[in-house]
Amino acid sequence: MEKRNFDVEVHHVTRVEGHGNIYVNVRNGTLERCEWNISEAPRFFEAMVVGRNWNELHHITSRICGICSIGHTLASLRATEGAMGITISDQDLKLRKLALHAENLQSHLLHVGFLVLPDLMGVGSVIPLASSNPKELKTVLRLHRLANEMSDLVCGRTTHPQRLIPGGFSKIPSMKELSGLRERLKASVPDLRAVAKLLKSLAPKIPDFVRETEFIALTSPNEYALYDGKIGSTDTDAAPAREYLSFTNEYIVPHSTAKRSKHARESYMVGALARLNINYDKLSPLAKNTAELFGLKPVCHNPFMNNIAQLVEVVHGVEDSIKLINELEAAGLKSQPDYNLPEVKVKAGQDVGAVEVPRGILFHDYTYNEKGVCTKANCIIPTNQNHGNIELDMKALVPKIIGKTPKEIELNLEMLVRAYDPCISCSTHAVKVHFV
Amino acid sequence: MKPKVAFFDFAGCEGDQLQVANLEEELLDLLEQVEVVSFREVMKEHSDNYDIAFVEGSCTRLHDEARLKQIRKNAKIVVAIGSCATIGGINSLKNYQDLDDVRRTVYGDKAKLFDTYAARPIDAVIPVDAYVHGCPINREEFLHVVKSLLLGKKPDIPNYPVCVECKKNENVCAFERGQFCVGPVTRAGCNSCCINEGTICWGCRGLVDNPNENSQKEVLIKYGLTVDDAIKKFRLYFGWQERKR
C-alpha cells in the first residue's frame, strides 16, 4: 500500500455545548496523532446556580441545552426534589415520562431524519431532499411535528418547558387532549414503518466497524429505564444514582474545554445504543421488531448503529406513550388547580437526579442550605461522557480505512461523530483533509 | 436573486436555532424566499458570502470578538436571536461572581486553561440591526422579523411590559397568587406564555426601554421579598442590562 502522509482537520465540527475539532495526522501510512478536541466556550452553569433558590434551578439549568431542555429540567427537578424530600404523584410521574418520550422522539427524529439521512443518501444536507425525496422528507417532518406538539401539550412548549416545576406540574393537559394525542400516536405507526423501511434500504451504507467498549445507562427491573433507575453497565454491577461519581470519574485533557469520563475501561459510551444494549428485553414489541429488522441485538459494539438504536427508541417511545395515556385514563385523570404550585417544605439537603436524555445518561447533583439556596452543583452531560469513546473509536477506525480516499476518510469520521449525535449542529461541519 | 442568510452561534444552548428547524413545513416555505448558505444545525455547506446573519448566544471570551466582527463585516444585516444574544441572558449570572472563582468551581486546578470574561450580548461587541427576543425565541416572531427585513421594514417589536398581554389573556396576576414575577418591567411580545402555562414571568425578553425598576423592586419587597432577593430576581436575565444602566 502507498505510504501516504496526510492530515485531517475538522474545524468546529461539532458543538457539544460548543465547538469541536478533529485532528488526524498520518505519516508514512501510519496514524501518528488522532485527537478529538472541544473548543466550545464554557458557560460555567455549576458556578452560575450557586446562590440561586431551589425553585429557580430547573429554569436555569434547562438552558444548558436547547435540544434536551426537558431532560435537563427533569434531572434538575429530581435532584431538587430528592434534596428536599418532595414526592410527586403517580399521575405526575406518568406525565413526566410522557414529557421525556416527547423529547426523545423529537431529538431522535431530528437526528436520524435531518442529519444522518443526508449522509446515507449522499447529499450535504436535508435541503436537497425536499426536491429529490419530498415524500420521505414529509414523512419525517410529520413525525417530528407530532413529537414537538406532544411536548407542547404536556410541557407547555418544546424548548425550555414551563409546566415542569418542583413537586409536579403548574398545568396539565386534559384527558381529551391526551386521548387526541393517543390517536395521533397510533396513526403515526405507518409513518414509522415507512422511515424504518427507508433506513433499511440504506443500511448497507452504515459502516461495519466494531470496537469493544463499555456501555452505561439507567436500568430498571420494571421498564425500559429513562426517568428512573439504577446506573447499569455492560461491564459491572448496577449502582444507585447517588454513586454516579464512581462511574463518571471525570478528568480534564488540556486544550479541550469539555471534561471526559472513564469507568471500567479507558472510555465508555452512553446514549440510545447503550440503553438498548443494557435494557433490550424491556423494549416494546414493535420496537423489538424494528431492532430485529436491522439485526440489532445486545451487545452491539458498532457505534454507527446508535442511529438505528435511536430509530428503535422512537418506536418504543410511541408505543410506551400510548400505554402511559391508557394508564392515565384507566386511573382517571385528576384535575389540579390553575397555576398549581405544590407546597414544598424547604430544607437543607443534597441529592442526585439521573435521567436518560436523547444522548445518554445525565446527572444533576445539588446541595442546598436550610434556606433552599444552592451551595454546590455538579452537572455531568452525556456528550462529555462520550468524548473519550469518540476519540478511541477514531483511533481504531482510521487505520482500518487508511487506504480509502481522503474524501471517504472525511465522510467516515464525520459519520462517526454524527453517530454519537453529540449535539445537533455538532456533526454537520465540513472536514478538511490536507495532503502534505 | 434570493437574499443569502447564515446562522451562527456563540455561548448558548442552540435552542433558538432549534426553533428555526422546528418551523417544519414553514421552513420549506421560508427556503423559497431566502438561500441559507450556512446553518450548522441542518447543513454541511458553508459560505462567507451572506446578506443576513442570525447570531445566537453571548460573547463570553475575548477571542470570540474577532469572529463576531468578521460576521459584522460580511453581513449587511445582523440579527441577534435569543436572550443570550439580545441581552446577555442567563449567561450574565456569572458576571456577578469572581470569574477566577467561577473557573475554579467548574475546572478546579485546571482553571487557567479556560478563558472567560463577563458574558455580554452581541451588541456589546458589534452593532446589531434587529432583535428576536426570548428564551427561546418564538417561531412566529422570528418569521415576522425575517419577513419585515425582507420587505425592508422595521420589525414591530413591543415596547410595553408583559403585564399588558397577561391582562388581555385574563390571567390571575402572579402577585395575587403569592408569587413573584418580573412581567411589569419585561418587554412583551411573548403573549405572556409562561404565565399562561401557570408559572411566572422570569424576564427572558429583557427590560422594556423605560422600565420602572424602582417601583417593581418596591412591589417585590412589599410582597415579602428582601432587597437581596429582589435584586436576585432581576439578575436572572437583566444582569447585563442592569449593569449598563
What grid cell was written down for B223?
Answer: 410582597
If asked whether residues B25 and B136 sit together in one domain, one would say: yes
More confident residue, A21 or A73: A73
pLDDT in tens, A56-73: 999 999 998 888 999 999
A contacts of B14 (beta carbons < 8 Å): 15, 65-67, 423-425
Bridge partner list, A352: A365
Question: What pLDDT score was predicted for residue A384?
Answer: 84
Q: Where does a domain end: B94, B119, B150? A: B150
Decide if B105 and A47 are in contact by the 8 Å CB cutoff: yes
Nearest CA in chain A to B83: A63
Tell me which residue range forms the domain holding B226: 162-244
Mean pLDDT score of chain A, rounded to an integer? 89
pLDDT of residue A294 exceeding 60, the answer is yes
pLDDT in tens, A153-195: 999 999 999 999 999 999 999 999 999 999 999 999 999 999 9
From CA B57, how far away is CA B85, in angstroms rounded?
Answer: 5
Nearest CA in chain A to B104: A47
Question: What pLDDT score was predicted for residue A18?
Answer: 47
If asked whether residues B146 and B54 sit together in one domain, one would say: yes
Distance from the Cα of B130 to chain A's closest Cα (Å) equals 22
**Longest CA span, chain A:** 73
Question: What pLDDT score was predicted for residue A116?
Answer: 86
If asked whether residues B145 and B167 sit together in one domain, one would say: no
* Residue A14 pLDDT class (50, 70, 90 cuts): very low
Stretch 201-220 of chain B: residues touching chain A, C-beta under 8 Å = 202
| Residue B26, in any domain of the structure | yes
Question: What pLDDT score was predicted for residue A436?
Answer: 29
Stretch 220-249 of chain A: residues touching chain B, C-beta under 8 Å = none
From CA A241, how far away is CA A219, in angstroms rounded?
Answer: 10
Question: What pLDDT score was predicted for residue A280?
Answer: 98
**Which residues lie closer than 8 Å to A130 by C-beta, 6 or more apart?**
A137, B28, B31
Decide if B31 and A130 are in contact by the 8 Å CB cutoff: yes
A148 touches chain B (CB under 8 A): yes
Q: Which of A63, A66, A127 sits opposite B18 (nearest CB)?
A: A66
- CATH number of the domain at B64, please: 3.40.50.700
Decide if B18 and A52 are in contact by the 8 Å CB cutoff: no
| Residue B155, in any domain of the structure | no
pLDDT in tens, A207-266: 999 999 999 999 999 999 999 999 999 999 999 999 999 999 888 776 566 678 899 999
pLDDT in tens, A99-135: 999 999 999 999 898 888 888 888 877 778 888 888 9
If asked whether residues B166 and B132 sit together in one domain, one would say: no
More confident residue, A116 or A322: A322
Distance from the Cα of A99 to chain B's closest Cα (Å) equals 15
Stretch 137-166 of chain B: residues touching chain A, C-beta under 8 Å = none
| Residue B228, in any domain of the structure | yes
A contacts of B179 (beta carbons < 8 Å): 339, 341
| Count of helices and strands (H, E) across chain B | 10, 5
Please state the ipTM of this predicted complex: 0.93
If asked whether residues B32 and B100 sit together in one domain, one would say: yes
Q: How many CB atoms lie within 10 A of CB B29?
A: 10
Task: Pick the closest to residue B154 from B51, B79, B83 (CA basis).
Answer: B79
* Residue A430 pLDDT class (50, 70, 90 cuts): very low
More confident residue, B54 or B240: B54
| Residue B107, in any domain of the structure | yes
Q: Where does a domain end: B123, B150, B177? A: B150
Decide if B97 and A163 are in contact by the 8 Å CB cutoff: no
| Residue B157, in any domain of the structure | no
If asked whether residues B80 and B135 sit together in one domain, one would say: yes
Query: What's the length of chain A?
Result: 436
Do the beta carbons of residue A157 and residue B139 sit within 8 Å? Answer: no
Question: What pLDDT score was predicted for residue B97?
Answer: 78
User: What value does the mean pLDDT take over residues A408-420?
Assistant: 86
If asked whether residues B58 and B106 sit together in one domain, one would say: yes
Number of domains in chain B: 2
Buried b (16+ CB within 10 A) or exposed e, A21-55: bbebbbeeeebeebebbbebbbbbbbbbbbebbbb
Do the beta carbons of residue B238 and residue B216 sit within 8 Å? Answer: no
pLDDT of residue B128 exceeding 50, the answer is yes
Do the beta carbons of residue B145 and residue B165 sit within 8 Å? Answer: no
* The residue type at A415: M
| Residue B27, in any domain of the structure | yes
Question: What pLDDT score was predicted for residue A121?
Answer: 87
If asked whether residues B137 and B231 sit together in one domain, one would say: no
Question: What pLDDT score was predicted for residue B106?
Answer: 63
pLDDT in tens, B65-100: 999 999 999 999 999 999 999 999 999 988 887 777
Question: What pLDDT score was predicted for residue A434?
Answer: 29
Q: Where does a domain end: B150, B179, B205? A: B150
> What does pTM read for this prediction?
0.93
Do the beta carbons of residue B111 and residue B167 sit within 8 Å? Answer: no
Q: Which of A41, A66, A157 sits opposite B16 (nearest CB)?
A: A66
pLDDT of residue A354 exceeding 70, the answer is yes
pLDDT of residue A9 exceeding 60, the answer is yes
User: What value does the mean pLDDT take over residues A285-314?
Assistant: 97
| Residue B139, in any domain of the structure | yes
If asked whether residues B174 and B104 sit together in one domain, one would say: no
User: What value does the mean pLDDT take over residues B193-197?
Assistant: 98
If asked whether residues B209 and B114 sit together in one domain, one would say: no
What grid cell was written down for A111?
Answer: 437526528
* Residue B167 pLDDT class (50, 70, 90 cuts): very high
Across the A/B interface, how many CB contacts are shorter than 8 Å?
181
A144 touches chain B (CB under 8 A): yes
Mean pLDDT score of chain B, rounded to an integer? 89
| Residue B97, in any domain of the structure | yes
Decide if B106 and A48 are in contact by the 8 Å CB cutoff: no
